Amino acid sequence: MLELRDVQVVFDGFRALDGVNLTVPEGELRFLIGPNGAGKTTLIDVVTGLTRPAAGNVRFAGQDLVGRKEHQIVRLGVGRTFQTSVVFEELTVVENLDLAASFRKPLWALTRRRRGVSEAVADALARTGLEALADRPAGVLSHGQRQWLEIGMLLAQRPRLLLLDEPVAGMSKDERERTGELLTAIAADHTVVVVEHDMDFLRRHASTVTVLHEGRVLVEGSVDEVSADPRVQEVYLGRRADDAVGERS
Ligand SMILES: Nc1ncnc2c1ncn2[C@@H]1O[C@H](COP(=O)(O)OP(=O)(O)OP(=O)(O)O)[C@@H](O)[C@H]1O
Ligand SMILES: [Mg+2]
């Protein structure tokens, strides 16, 4: 579903990605971890067309993504969240979802008056458990609910691949647990790449983990394999990976 081959991203001579190779099969829930500045967000940026690689290939479902514009990549079926929120606070939950769903529609469809909610919006509401809040302004949502709305906004675009940048940052324990369940449910019929640092969260919800360090893939494997790997322990400042990975940015 997603394949990066020798991808390089250079900012003013600094290699933020330095030859990344990554393969994510269809239907996988893949976790991406690594210290601050490892290149995790840059990797998402390069897949979604926000940043153009200096070299290398990015393929999604058999198509080359390099050189395509962000909106073209969204239309192909790639959705992402940002580290900072992009919800419209004055709009209701359902209006935010509707707006997100409209990004993949042709312009004429937007000018027609719509009755009720589309199937994509109804589905996103149900999956994220936000039905009871559908007509409330997004501004009143708790931090966790707002993150779920953002995930719902992605789902409303009907992507095949979702890239989530630290979706549980700042969440309570209960909210994290619900998010883990939500991600697992989403991965039943999507391919999902999640950037997350929290080791407890990984233990509970991750199967395969890719560790990025200084713009390269350092290790890939199960949570246990990765956290026991001396190279991973070393990049997390020589402490036990368990302690260090759990530390928030
Ligand atoms: N637009 C940019 N211009 C210059 N340097 C950048 C730019 N974006 C990222 N960088 C640099 O590239 C490196 C990788 O950044 P990136 O944001 O991908 O890291 P990250 O793994 O997401 O870190 P964090 O855990 O802090 O979110 C960092 O050293 C960062 O300072
Ligand atoms: Mg980041």
- Concatenate the DSSP letters of all residues of 24-85 into one string: E-TT-EEEEE-STTSSHHHHHHHHTTSS--SEEEEEETTEE-TT--HHHHHHHTEEE--SS-
Q: How far apart are CA 247 and CA 232, in angstroms?
A: 14
Per-residue pLDDT tens digits for 176-186: 999 999 999 99
Share of the chain above pLDDT 90, in %: 75
Comparison of pLDDT for 85 and 244, the residue scoring more? 85
> Which CATH class for the 1-77+160-249 domain?
alpha beta
- Residue 106: the pLDDT is 57
Distance 37 CA to ligand 1 centre (A): 5
**pLDDT grade, residue 249 (50/70/90)?**
very low
Return the number of other C-beta atoms located less than 10 Å from residue 205's C-beta: 23
Judge if the beta carbon of residue 32 lies within 6 A of ligand 1.
no
Evaluate if pTM is beyond 0.85.
Answer: yes
Judge if the beta carbon of residue 42 lies within 6 A of ligand 1.
yes
Q: How far apart are CA 114 and CA 1, in angstroms?
A: 33
Q: Which atom of ligand 1 is nearest to the CA of 43?
A: 18
Question: Which ranges in the chain are annotated with CATH 3.40.50.300?
Answer: 1-77+160-249
Q: Which atom of ligand 1 is nearest to the CA of 35?
A: 25
Pairing of strands 161-165, 14-24: unpaired
- Which of 210, 215, 218 shows the shortest CA–CA distance to 235? 218
User: Whose atoms come closest to the Cα of 33: which ligand?
Assistant: 1
Query: Average model confidence (pLDDT) for the chain?
Result: 89
- In terms of phi and psi (left: phi > 0; alpha: psi -120 to 50; beta: otherwise), the region of 232 is alpha
Compute CA 203 distance to the chain's CA centroid, rounded to the nearest angstrom: 18
Per-residue pLDDT tens digits for 95-114: 999 988 887 665 555 555 55
- In Å, how far are 65, 99, 145, 186, 189 from 87, measured between CA atoms? 26, 10, 11, 20, 25
Which residue of 20, 32, 40 sits with most ligand 1 atoms within 8 Å of its CB, as the best mutation to test the pocket?
A: 40
The least confident of 55-64, 95-104, 211-220 is: 95-104
Note whether 156 and 121 are within 8 A (CB): yes
Judge if the beta carbon of residue 36 lies within 6 A of ligand 1.
yes
- Which of 148, 81, 141, 94 shows the shortest CA–CA distance to 120? 94
Q: How far apart are CA 115 and CA 112, in angstroms?
A: 10
- Residue 198: the pLDDT is 80
Q: Token digits for 212? A: 């990025």
Nearest alpha carbon, ligand 1 atom 1: 11
- The mean pLDDT value for 116-134 works out to 92
For the chain, the straight-line distance linking the first and the last C-alpha, in angstroms and rounded, comes to 29
Nearest alpha carbon, ligand 1 atom 18: 39
Judge if the beta carbon of residue 40 lies within 6 A of ligand 1.
yes
Judge if the beta carbon of residue 9 lies within 6 A of ligand 1.
no
- The mean pLDDT value for 221-236 works out to 91
Would the pLDDT of 164 be above 90?
A: yes
Q: Which atom of ligand 1 is nearest to the CA of 197?
A: 25
**pLDDT grade, residue 150 (50/70/90)?**
very high
